[in-house]
Amino acid sequence: MYIINFFESLIKPVILFVSFTLFGLITEKVILARILNTKLSKNYLIKIIIRSFNWLFSLFFIIIGLHLALYNYPFTYQHSFLLNKMFTSLEILIVFLFLARTTSKIIVHFFSKNDSILPATSIISNVIFIAVIFLGILVMLEGIGISDVPILTTFGVGGLAVSLALQDTLSNFFAGIHILASKKIQPGNTIILENGQRGKVTDINWRNTTLLTPDNNLIIIPNSKISTSIITNYSFPEENFSVSLQIGISYDSNLNEVEEKTVNFLKNFVQNTPGCVKNIDPILRYQKFDNSCITLSIYIRVQSYSDQFVVLHELIKSIHKFYKENHIEIPYPIQNIILEKSKKLDNSL
């Protein structure tokens, strides 16, 4: 008789647990997965919410099912009270974990569409995520009857000790915040440090800044180093910038004719070469009299830092061919050496 009563008392809890577990798993793995493959997924807000559910939705319903199953099992009052507090805390924590994921992604997406506020980087996402989780922990503790005032007081007192122990980490964190707030360096910018390291900024997180070099390697630099370095930003205030090429022409050349022909050639080159800024005319300026030639400089605007290499490559080939066809001489370096005879040497002879 006791065994029969025991199994009868398990039927309802087991049914509740299995029902909520199956509902959570089927909804997440089947229904939500199919929604991602429909036109609804084009809405970025819906896509963020569904992806934030990843494993949290099914876990939430598993915990609710287990909570209800144990609640309907004939435990003693003390055990039921403790279990109820424990599962309520877990449910609150999962809800705030979902909110942290969703909020951080939505705000970062908003920043990515509004660069005038803050750039969308992982440091912003992490700060928002941690802030929401911290709020969730306070709500969870309040829900189980633990006052959050002593905890906040403890954090305040212990904050000094932690800040001393994590001085380098906090220095990098606040340096990262300063870099983002100043908006002088943002993800996507091409920069060169004073030590010669260069690359495109891919991310600024709570500890370091990551650069992707032209060789497709990553340079990881602490934020505190970035904030104290002399940096050339080739993407600020504008992405396009000038590249120059120096050429030497013969002293026998007609300078006006060379200038006219070269400028016309350069205008055609700019319009037909990818990477050049089409609406800005190239510039030619004579610079100086060298030993064997007159030096001129050509200035062309390119769309980005990486475009300069291909543009210069094509420009050297094209202008060499153009000068050769138009009989404009690019002289070899020449140096005349005049030897004077010594009078003593002549007298001795």
- Residue 305 maps to which CATH number? 3.30.70.100
197: nearest Cα among 184, 182, 209, 183: 209
Instruction: Give yes or no: residues 190 and 308 share one domain.
Output: no
Both tokens assigned to 300: 């062309």
Give the span between the Cα atoms of 217 and 197, in whole angstroms.
11
Instruction: Give yes or no: residues 228 and 79 share one domain.
Output: no
Instruction: Give yes or no: residues 106 and 254 share one domain.
Output: no
pLDDT for the residue 119:
66
Peptide bond before 274: cis, by omega within 30 degrees of 0?
no
Instruction: Give yes or no: residues 208 and 290 share one domain.
Output: no
pLDDT for the residue 116:
54
Instruction: Give yes or no: residues 18 and 131 share one domain.
Output: yes
99: nearest Cα among 67, 141, 56: 56
Condensed to tens digits (0 to 9), the pLDDT of residues 336-348 reads 676 666 555 455 5
**pLDDT reading at 254 higher than 90:** yes
Determine whether 258 is exposed, middle or buried from the number of CB atoms within 10 Å of its CB (0-12, 13-18, 19+). Answer: buried
Residue 346 lies in a domain: no
pLDDT for the residue 326:
93
Residue 339 lies in a domain: no
Whether the Cβ atoms of residue 204 and residue 180 lie closer than 8 Å to each other? yes
Both tokens assigned to 294: 């007159």
Whether the Cβ atoms of residue 173 and residue 126 lie closer than 8 Å to each other? no
pLDDT, mean over the chain:
81
For range 92-112, the mean pLDDT? 84
pLDDT for the residue 348:
55
How many residues does the structure list for the chain? 349
pLDDT for the residue 38:
77
Determine whether 20 is exposed, middle or buried from the number of CB atoms within 10 Å of its CB (0-12, 13-18, 19+). Answer: buried
Residue 349 lies in a domain: no
Give the span between the Cα atoms of 137 and 155, in whole angstroms.
13
Residue 176 lies in a domain: no
**pLDDT reading at 43 higher than 80:** no
Q: Which residue stretches of 37-147 are H helix? A: 44-52, 56-71, 77-113, 122-143
Give the span between the Cα atoms of 104 and 319, in whole angstroms.
52
pLDDT for the residue 5:
57
* Structural domains in the chain (count): 3
pLDDT for the residue 117:
58
pLDDT for the residue 62:
86
pLDDT for the residue 311:
93
pLDDT for the residue 211:
92
For range 152-156, the mean pLDDT? 64
Instruction: Give yes or no: residues 25 and 119 share one domain.
Output: yes
**pLDDT reading at 74 higher than 70:** no
pLDDT for the residue 39:
73
Residue 345 lies in a domain: no
Instruction: Give yes or no: residues 220 and 251 share one domain.
Output: no
Residue 335 lies in a domain: no
Distances (CA, A) of 157 to 100, 151, 153, 163, 169: 26, 10, 6, 11, 19
Instruction: Give yes or no: residues 143 and 163 share one domain.
Output: yes
Instruction: Give yes or no: residues 34 and 151 share one domain.
Output: yes
Both tokens assigned to 30: 């089947």
**pLDDT confidence bin for 106, thresholds 50/70/90:** confident
Q: Is the pTM of this model over 0.85?
A: no
pLDDT for the residue 75:
61
Condensed to tens digits (0 to 9), the pLDDT of residues 191-236 reads 998 888 889 998 888 888 999 988 889 999 998 888 888 888 988 8
Instruction: Give yes or no: residues 85 and 200 share one domain.
Output: no
**pLDDT confidence bin for 91, thresholds 50/70/90:** confident
**pLDDT reading at 320 higher than 90:** yes
pLDDT for the residue 282:
94
For range 253-276, the mean pLDDT? 94
The fraction of the chain above a pLDDT of 90, given in percent, is: 24
- Residue 226 maps to which CATH number? 2.30.30.60
With b meaning 16 or more CB within 10 Å and e meaning fewer, what string describes 62-98?
bbbbbbbbbebbeeeeeeeeebeeebebbbbbbebbb
Condensed to tens digits (0 to 9), the pLDDT of residues 173-192 reads 888 888 887 778 888 888 99
Instruction: Give yes or no: residues 193 and 148 share one domain.
Output: no
60: nearest Cα among 32, 37, 82: 32
Whether the Cβ atoms of residue 269 and residue 315 lie closer than 8 Å to each other? yes
**pLDDT reading at 285 higher than 90:** yes
Residue 340 lies in a domain: no
pLDDT for the residue 186:
85
pLDDT for the residue 142:
76
List CB contacts of 177: < 8 A, sequence separation 6 or more: 123
Q: For residue 189, what are the domain limits?
A: 184-233
Based on its alpha-carbon atoms, the radius of gyration of the chain, rounded to whole angstroms, reads: 35
| Domain end marker among 169, 192, 224 | 169
Instruction: Give yes or no: residues 156 and 253 share one domain.
Output: no
Residue 61 lies in a domain: yes
pLDDT for the residue 187:
85
